Amino acid sequence: MENVPTFLSFITFEDSTTTLRLLSNKQSQQHLKAHPVPSLEIVNMRQTFHTLRNHILASVTTVLVIASSPVTATFSQTQAGQTADQRYGPGVTRLTVVDERSDRPLAGDIWYPTSTPEKSNRADKSKVWQMALADPDGNPAEGSFPLVVVSHGMYGNTFNQAWLGSELARRGFLVAMVNHPGTSTFLRDPDQARELWERPRDMTRLITYLIEDSRFSDRIDPTRIYAAGHSLGGFTVLLLAGATFDTKLYRSACTGAALPVACSVLAGWSIAETPADQKQMEMSRKDPRILKVISLDLGGTPVLSRESLTMLDIPVLVLGSERGDMLNQEVESRALAAALSPDKVHHIELPDAGHFDFMGICKPEGYEVLRTHEPGDEIVCIKGTSDRERQHQRITQEIVNFLAS
């Protein structure tokens, strides 16, 4: 398999659109010139590892945010509209997991309900993304709330589902997310990516820290802990639910032509290539504290043990994307829903939704900014404004209904 650069270029812009950060090297630039992104009319996201990697890296690493976190951003005066189910404001603060794992530090954000819903403003430090409504370091509301831990996708980060954290916080949920070392935007490392079993363990560590040692421990209802994940994050939370990696299935499903996207990704990361790694990958990572999981257009179903999926004993909400612009629904969300016990699964294929509709809303000018400065990346903003906002409303409502049922 041809060597693919560890880093593809990505640019972060200030409001003035001057370049703030450029992580690139000659190798990655040469790779992009030699392997241009296909036109939007003919793009087939399932064909090669290069195409997949280019688009996913571009989509999740072109964060286009100057603030290091939602907490430190400068905020505009745009006020949030409140509805009956949005009794709280969306507080957010930085989060660092403190435990014995000094070899794998975890940091991210936690969104939480505040007692001041009128203070939800929107940061305005991106030329592409509409930032999530937030009240950085706002006063937490009194009470005990359910906890949702969120796992981002391949080379993603906590900004990707910040919109979901904000929406759920306004509805009375604590939502915590960390950047997975090795497979996140700014923490890419081939050895850590190979240790894919650490992703679900990250979530378990996060839960333990939050309920035992964090300043939010007295506001978490330990009987209502849930997990949600997008793309590779969906695969991660399925492992938390009790699904297991199947090496033999991986070998058979990833042989021949027209391979599922997951096959190229896992091969690129050298997953389960040694007996020791196979043992780690096949080990159950089930966290019994998690009572429901939510899969957001996951990738990785073809390598999950069918027996383990049948035996899952907690409810699973499977949200798929009808457009199938990134992942083949037949081998991913539809196959997952078919493999789960009928009394445990609720499968919804969102009409006209795409893979990136589970990420943030693009500004009206976002498509052109990306097309101009990072040609090919503009795919993340297709139907990314008002259409995506409507998708977010549907996604949020389906999640809230599922967790309340």
pLDDT at 84: 55
- The C-alpha atoms of residue 390 and residue 53 are separated, in whole angstroms, by 28
Q: Give the tokens for residue 101.
A: 């794992």
Cα(154)–Cα(151) distance, integer angstroms: 10
Backbone Cα Rg of the chain: 20
Q: Where are the alpha helices (DSSP H) in 198-353?
A: 198-212, 232-241, 247-253, 261-268, 275-282, 306-310, 333-339
Query: Does 9 reside within a domain?
Result: no
Q: pLDDT (tens digit, 0 to 9) for every residue of the chain, 405 residues total? A: 223 222 222 222 222 222 222 222 233 333 334 433 333 222 333 333 344 444 444 444 344 443 333 433 333 333 334 555 779 999 999 999 999 999 999 999 999 999 999 887 887 778 999 999 999 999 999 999 999 999 999 999 999 999 999 999 999 999 999 999 999 988 899 999 999 999 999 999 999 999 999 999 999 999 999 999 999 999 999 999 999 999 999 999 999 888 999 999 999 999 999 999 999 999 999 999 999 999 999 999 999 999 999 999 999 999 999 998 999 999 999 999 999 999 999 999 999 999 999 999 999 999 999 999 999 889 999 999 999 999 999 999 999 999 999
Number of residues that make up the chain: 405
pTM value is: 0.83
Q: Determine, yes or no, domain membership for 373.
A: no
Is 265:288 a contact under the CB 8 Å cutoff?
Answer: no
User: Is 378:328 a contact under the CB 8 Å cutoff?
Assistant: no
Question: Does residue 333 lie in a domain region?
Answer: yes
CA-CA distance, 77 to 223, in Å (whole number)? Answer: 37
Residue 10 is predicted with a pLDDT of 27
Predicted pLDDT at 172: 97
Q: For residue 341, give the DSSP letter.
A: -
**Within a domain: 59:** no
Residue 161 within a domain: yes
Structural domain contains residue 83: yes
Residue 123: its pLDDT value, please? 72
Nearest to 172 by CA among 212, 115, 227, 120: 115
Our count of domains for the chain comes to 1
Residue span of the structural domain in which 235 resides: 76-366+382-404
Element (H, E) at 59: helix 49-61
Record the tokens describing residue 311, joined without a space.
């035996």
CA dihedral sign, ordered 43, 324, 9, 197: negative
The answer as to whether 95 is a domain residue is yes
CB-based contact 327:297 (threshold 8 Å): yes
Q: State residue 124's pLDDT score.
A: 73
Cβ(312)–Cβ(295) under 8 Å?
A: no
Check residue 59 and give its pLDDT.
41
- CATH of residue 102's domain is 3.40.50.1820
Pair 402, 346: CB distance under 8 Å = yes
Residue 53 domain-assigned (yes or no)? no
